[in-house]
Amino acid sequence: MKKIIVGQSGGPTSVINSSLAGVYKTARDIGVETVFGMRNGIQGFLEERIVDMGQYVRNDLDVELLRRTPSSYLGSCRYKLPEIKGNEALYDKIFDILKKNDIDAFFYIGGNDSMDTIAKLSAYGKEKGSDIRFMGVPKTIDNDLAITDHTPGFGSAAKFIAAMTKELVRDSLVYDIEQVTVVEIMGRNAGWLTASAVLAKGDDNEGPDLIYLPELDFDPKAFTEKIREIQKGGKKSVVACVSEGIHLADGKYVFEMGSHTDFVDSFGHKQLSGTAAFLSNMLSAELGCKTRSIEFSALQRCGAHLASYTDNKEAFNVGGAAVKAASEGETGKVILLERASDDPYVCALGRHDVNDIANVEKKVPMEWITNGGTFISNDFVRYASPLIEGEVSPIMVGGKPAHLVLPK
Ligand code: F6P
């Protein structure tokens, strides 16, 4: 392989740039001459907004800085390619741009929606007899990719959530008054991240009292009664962690019960936000006590100063493994993380057909949701604990973490 191209797609993570660094560094180490980057994923690629990464990532220090930079260095998009049938002109255009730039392999760092791009491009390439290779590099804080044990990005977001929840629980116990803190955590339809709030619990912390995942229907009345019951039982301050995607039995999101935006992205996803604000206002009216809503929002996926070393390392390795696989002639595959053991934590890298992964969502197993849908089992704790282990020291300049930024 002489020339390759890499892009980032979907929501960012604290370590998505570590995967980019893994692709870049491994490619250079095996003799690839040019690593192109597409600005804003496939959307920018279609507009031929392509950069030569070698001009901007000039040495090993830049690679290290890139690994510590949150957000997507190349920019991202939420753009789904249309079905091939009837849209052949668009696919021909993509292959023309690839050919024009002599590109041998295409790498896309993304979640299940983004893997659809790899599935479609590798299928079209096969149909046309192209020898360009297409590889998926997994990422998403949501941890909802099928087949792989977990996704790069999840461990760091889970670590952030565990640490922040721990600190919030401490703060919530300051006054001897009745109060409720509602914490909203990302993860659309899968509750992996919200479940991570349970990791706050330990010898020096009570942890949250209640945890609600989107895997089950949510009943606002039962929620209110549960909190009333806890307070009546003597625990005045209650911390409840809820997924941004909790919904009523009829499918309506809880955030839609309050004031909200109607924005829908091109993957067809509604912008989820405002669940904690709605619930905390509701509880204040129903219980007549102090309430506070906390929405971790984008902080949980860009808090790279609190990234997990395990996660950062795995993110780098999946990028490198994708390059190695493509150099061996693989196409239409995604790199997997395959866990061999929890303690000691051992995880290997594998490869799998992208068609089994694109557009599929992996949910938290029902048996890991306990206490009538209000808490999380120790099986989850065993699963998630190794993923948040280890720290990545930011490179501090002027008292703040330094970042590598792609010029406009
Ligand atoms: O990519 C996953 C994710 O972080 C979800 O957890 C969240 O619902 C969504 O992205 C938010 O996306 P955006 O930043 O595009 O609003």
Q: Are residues 278 and 195 in the same domain?
A: yes
Q: Which of 188, 194, 266, 299 to mutate to test the pocket of ligand 1 (most atoms within 8 A of CB)?
A: 188
For atom 6 of ligand 1, which residue has the closest CA?
187
**pLDDT tens by residue, 296-346:** 999 999 999 999 999 999 999 999 999 999 999 999 999 999 999 999 999
Separation of 305 CA from ligand 1 center, angstroms? 20
Q: Which of 315, 336, 355 is the last residue of a domain?
A: 355
How many CB atoms are located within 10 Å of the residue 60 CB? 9
For ligand 1, whether the C-beta of 139 sits within 6 Å is no
Answer yes or no: do 158 and 298 share one domain.
Answer: yes
Distance 13 CA to ligand 1 centre (A): 10
Question: Is the C-beta atom of 125 inside 6 A of ligand 1?
Answer: no
Q: What is the pLDDT of residues 261-304, one digit of tens each?
A: 667 776 777 778 899 999 999 999 999 999 999 999 999 999 99
- Take atom 11 of ligand 1 and give the residue whose Cα is closest: 11
CA–centroid distance, 186 to ligand 1, in Å, is 7
Same domain, yes or no, for 211 and 119? no
| Closest approach atom of ligand 1 to CA 265 | 15
Same structural domain for residues 321 and 241?
A: no
Nearest ligand 1 atom, CA 245:
8
Number of structural domains (the chain) is: 2
User: 212, 244, 248, 249: which is closest to 227 by C-alpha?
Assistant: 212
Same domain, 136 and 159: no
Residue 260 Cβ contacting ligand 1 at under 6 Å: no
**149 within some domain:** no
At 241 the pLDDT is: 98
State the CATH number of the domain containing residue 215: 3.40.50.460
Q: Which residues are catalytic?
A: 142
Residues 110 and 198 in one domain: no
Ligand 1: residue whose CA is nearest its atom 12 = 11
Are 208 and 253 within one domain? Answer: yes
Type and span of the H or E element at 279: helix 275-287
Looking at the structure, do residues 253 and 317 belong to the same domain, yes or no? Answer: no
Task: Evaluate whether residue 275 is within a structural domain.
Answer: yes
Q: Which tokens go with 326?
A: 């493509």
Q: What is the pLDDT of residues 153-206, one digit of tens each?
A: 999 999 999 999 999 999 999 999 999 999 999 998 999 999 999 999 999 999
Our answer on whether the CB atom of 158 is closer than 6 Å to any ligand 1 atom is no
Residue 235 belongs to some domain of the structure = yes
Two tokens at 328? Answer: 């061996």
Whether 37 and 76 share a structural domain: yes
| Beta-bridge mates of residue 183 | 241, 294
Task: State residue 80's pLDDT score.
Answer: 93
Is 363 a member of any domain?
no
| 372 occurs within a structural domain | no
Q: Is there a single domain that holds both residue 179 and residue 93?
A: no
The domain of 255 spans 154-302
Residue 405 resides in a domain: no
The rounded Å distance from CA 289 to ligand 1 centre is: 32
CATH number of domain containing 103 = 3.40.50.450
d(CA 173, CA 35) in angstroms, rounded, equals: 52
Tokens at 220, concatenated: 């606002």
Specify if 212 maps to a domain.
yes
Residue 122 resides in a domain: yes
Which residue's CA is the nearest one to ligand 1's atom 2? 11
List the residue whose alpha carbon is closest to atom 4 of ligand 1: 11
Q: Is there a single domain that holds both residue 269 and residue 297?
A: yes
* CA 11 to ligand 1 center in whole angstroms: 5
Asked if 199 and 292 sit in the same domain, the reply is: yes
CA distance 91 to 77: 18
Please indicate whether residue 188, judged by its CB atom, sits closer than 6 Å to ligand 1: yes
The tens digit of pLDDT for each residue in 35-83 reads: 999 999 999 999 999 999 999 999 999 999 999 999 999 999 999 999 9
pLDDT in tens, 200-259: 999 999 999 999 999 999 999 999 999 999 999 999 999 999 999 999 999 999 999 987
**Do residues 398 and 318 lie in contact, with contact meaning Cβ atoms separated by under 8 Å?**
no
Cα of 185 from ligand 1 centre, angstroms:
11
